[in-house]
Amino acid sequence: NAGVTQTPKFRVLKTGQSMTLLCAQDMNHEYMYWYRQDPGMGLRLIHYSVGEGTTAKGEVPDGYNVSRLKKQNFLLGLESAAPSQTSVYFCASSLIGGNTGELFFGEGSRLTVL
């Protein structure tokens, strides 16, 4: 069982370039999330989804877009990358909402914007 898989694991972009991070989960989870983690800081929620076809903004959504066309996939897009978006990005999923317990995290995607 793969759990939560993120691709790519590493990427270097130039300012202004675009890219998409893919998150795939094989646990049939309803909820999916994208977080970013900066050095010495906790995880900050970018966007999340409570089911296929739905997305919502988190704490730091500016500069990112997301899509959840299939239940198992949650895509995070950067249309015009900025150095401030250099970070480690984590995708997570959970079974259903409302005090049901843990988030299952991927291994992270390290993005550097030059």
Partner 1 sequence: GESVGLHLPTLSVQEGDNSIINCAYSNSASDYFIWYKQESGKGPQFIIDIRSNMDKRQGQRVTVLLNKTVKHLSLQIAATQPGDSAVYFCAEDLYNFNKFYFGSGTKLNVKP
- Interface residues toward partner 1, by CB under 8 A: 4, 31, 33, 35, 39-45, 48, 58-59, 90, 92, 94, 96-108
**Least Å distance between CB 108 and partner 1?**
6
Nearer Cβ to partner 1 (74/90)? 90
**Least Å distance between CB 112 and partner 1?**
16
Bridge-based pairing of strands 109-113 and 10-13 is parallel
Nearer Cβ to partner 1 (51/77)? 51
Q: How far is CA 32 from the centre of its chain?
A: 8
Nearer Cβ to partner 1 (29/78)? 29
DSSP string for residues in 34-89 = EEEE-TT--EEEEEEESSTT--EE-SS-TT-EEE-SSTTEEEEEESS--GGG-EEE
